[in-house]
Amino acid sequence: MRKTLLSTTLCLLATGVLAQNGLIPQRDADKPIDISALKMEADIRSKVVIYSGDVRAVQGDYRLRSDTMKDDSPNAKIYLNGKVVVDSPTTGTVIGDNAIYDTAKKFVTLSGHVVLHKQGQATMQGSLLTVNMITGKATLGAAPVAATANQAAAPGAPGGRVTGVIIPKSQNGTP
């Protein structure tokens, strides 16, 4: 089950790059997941696992990095904090300060200095990205984000506005 949750998290965070275009990336959930960190703590009774220190997870062509990752199985949530980066050559790069994946609701929230980048196609910036994985709807906002018990506060985007650059197909080499 833990393998499925992590696999889903890797893919769902990267989905934000394509959700703005209504595209959902293809992935192979059966591929092995390689995880590495400087430290892993597990509380068997509470069913919480915390990876810390240069956390890296790889599944297929998806690569995730963060300072910490907390898998809170009883509350059906995975928390990523500190320099969260999800990268894939097929879907692009998603960057933020914090991420929460609600595995029960299939809802991803990425906050902080959020950047969505797809090489040669688009770059979008804001402070709060939400992705409903059931409907495929993604929203990028620019308001400040309050701190919670599992996530640091994040300032709003400069000027309080979502910004971006979208490159026309005629300029990015796509017919």
Closest CA to 77 of 52, 95, 53, 99: 99
Task: List pLDDT tens digits, range 121-130.
Answer: 888 999 988 8
CA dist 65 → 45, 48, 86 (Å)? 27, 19, 7
Q: Summarize the confidence of residues 63-90 as an average pLDDT.
A: 90
Residue bearing the bigger pLDDT, 11 or 50? 50
Provide DSSP, 139-161.
EEE-S-B--BTTB--BPPPGGG-
Q: Return the DSSP state at 163.
A: E
CA atoms within 13 A on the CB side of 138: 23
pLDDT number for residue 65 = 92
Residue that the structure tokens 């991420």 belong to: 99
H-run or E-run covering 7: helix 2-19
* Residue 133 vs residue 85, higher pLDDT: 85
Pick from 132, 131, 127: which is nearest to 115 by CA?
A: 127
pLDDT per position as a tens digit, 41-64 = 999 999 999 999 999 988 888 888
- Residue-averaged pLDDT of the chain: 79
Given the structure tokens 């062509």, which residue do they identify? 61
Q: What is the DSSP letter of 73?
A: G
- At 75, is the secondary structure helix, strand, or coil? helix
What domains can you pick out in the chain, each with its CATH number? 2-166 (2.60.450.10)
Could you identify the residue written with the tokens 């929230």? 109
